[in-house]
Amino acid sequence: MRAALAEASAALATGDVPIGAVVLDASGAVVGTGRNVRERDADPTGHAEVVALREAARARGEWRLTGCTLVVTLEPCTMCAGAAVLARVDRVVFGAYDDKAGAVGSLWDVVRDRRLNHRPEVLAGVLEAESVALLDGFFAEHR
C-alpha cells in the first residue's frame, strides 16, 4: 500500500486526484503501477487501477492476471472493479472507502457479485487514514 500511496502522491503534480495503484504478482513483486492520469491525458478511463492493470498485463505478456493482487488507495469504482474482475486478479486491496462511487462494498459490490464468473478476495481499510488524508488535502485545496 505504501507504493500505491507514493503513486497517489505523484498524481498531484499533474492536478489529478491523488489515487495510486500497484499490481503485485504471486511472489509480491510489483508488476504494474498506476496513478490517476485523467487530467494529464484528458482520458476518462485514466484511473490508477486501469493504468496499473494495463502495465501489469504488458509486463506479463497476457491479460489474465491470475495470482496477482491489485492494491489501490481508494475503493475502486464500477469501471475499475469490473476491470479487476475481467483481469482475473486474485485479490483487491484498498485503503479508503468511497461512499460516493465505491463498487467493492460501499455503493455496489461488483467484485463479489455471484452472477460473474470471477470473484476476487477483498481486503479493505489498509492504511485507510493515510489514503483519506491525501484525498482530503487535495480536495481542501480545490474547493
On whether residue 139 sits in a domain, the answer given is: no
On whether residue 138 sits in a domain, the answer given is: no
8 A C-beta contact, residue 18 and residue 34: no
On whether residue 143 sits in a domain, the answer given is: no
- pLDDT tens for residues 24-57? 999 999 999 999 999 999 999 999 999 999 999 9
Average pLDDT over residues 60-88: 98
Domain of residue 42 covers 1-133
On whether residue 12 sits in a domain, the answer given is: yes
Total of domains in the chain: 1
- pLDDT tens for residues 86-141? 999 999 999 999 999 999 999 999 999 999 999 999 999 999 999 999 999 999 98
How many CA atoms, within 13 angstroms, populate the side-chain half-sphere of residue 39? 11
d(CA 43, CA 41): 5
- The response to whether 80 counts as a known ligand-binding position is yes
pTM: 0.96
Which active-site residues does the annotation give? 49
On whether residue 93 sits in a domain, the answer given is: yes
| Nearest by Cα to 139 from 19, 6, 3, 38 | 19
CATH of residue 41's domain is 3.40.140.10
On whether residue 142 sits in a domain, the answer given is: no
